[in-house]
Amino acid sequence: MQRYFIEIMYDGTNYHGWQVQPNSITVQEQLEKAISTVLNKKIGIMGAGRTDTGVHAKQFFAHFDYDSNLLDGNIVFRLNSFLPEDICVKSICEVKADAHCRFDAISRTYEYIIYNSKNPFLVDNAYFLHKKLDIEEMNKAANCLFDFIDFTSFSKLHTQTKTNNCTIKKAVWEQKGDTLIFTIQADRFLRNMVRAIVGTLINVGLGKISIDDFINIIKSKDRAQAGTSVPAHALYLTQVCYPKTIWL
């Protein structure tokens, strides 16, 4: 039995996130259906993590096992021909038999995109916020994230995670043309974490809370103290990184 990593990208608008769930259309369901059709065998796949309803992925990995070589044909083309237009397979590669796309990931990177002047091409893919934001103060607050590992204040309540500890490696706001992009990288993320952090940092940028308030929100470990989660349609998983040791 050989293990394969499959790299995909998708627009999450029409899906209730990645993970299969009853009575909802998900990305995992569509991908499993396509792989099972192409290989003429029921195939289950494991994803690198969850993305919530409406969240997009520019890079996402899943793994599955198969009993023969898949790399000597046009498997990527065939899979894409069975997938809807908003899901795309980028590559498939064989990895070590014990490689795990979720547990072996060493970092994940997300981007959140905001725009503040009317743009019909961004309506469905970025968050429109017409109010002026203090980007310098937002970056000062974002830098405070590096001083903490427990992000309970930004986690969805009543999840089944064993720990709310994460190591944040990057957190920065950058103005790029008409858009303001927040990039955050960590070893792992909690449910709803990025959207809650962005919502709270926006409150800093609007002058509703100070940097000290932001720090105290993190220390409180109380989701009710943090800001409102921003809309999902402007959030993108952009990169998942793995150690070199898993690849063949």
Give catalytic residue positions: 52
Which amino acid is residue 15, in one-letter code?
Y
Which contacts of 215-221 are long-range, i.e. CB under 8 A and separated by 24 or more positions?
Answer: 215/144, 215/147, 217/153, 218/144, 218/145, 218/148, 218/150, 218/151, 218/153, 218/154, 219/148, 220/153, 221/150, 221/152, 221/153, 221/164
User: What whole-number distance in Å separates Cα of residue 65 and Cα of residue 24?
Assistant: 25
Beta strands in 19-115 (DSSP E): 46-47, 56-66, 87-95, 107-115
C-alpha distances in Å from residue 198, one per residue of 12, 87, 99, 193:
19, 26, 32, 9
For 200, residues 6+ apart whose C-beta sits below 8 A from its C-beta are 154, 209, 214, 217, 226, 227
Q: Please check whether residue 23 is in contact with residue 32, taking contact to mean a CB–CB distance below 8 angstroms.
A: no
Cβ atoms within 10 A of the Cβ of 2, count?
15
User: What whole-number distance in Å separates Cα of residue 54 and Cα of residue 194?
Assistant: 14
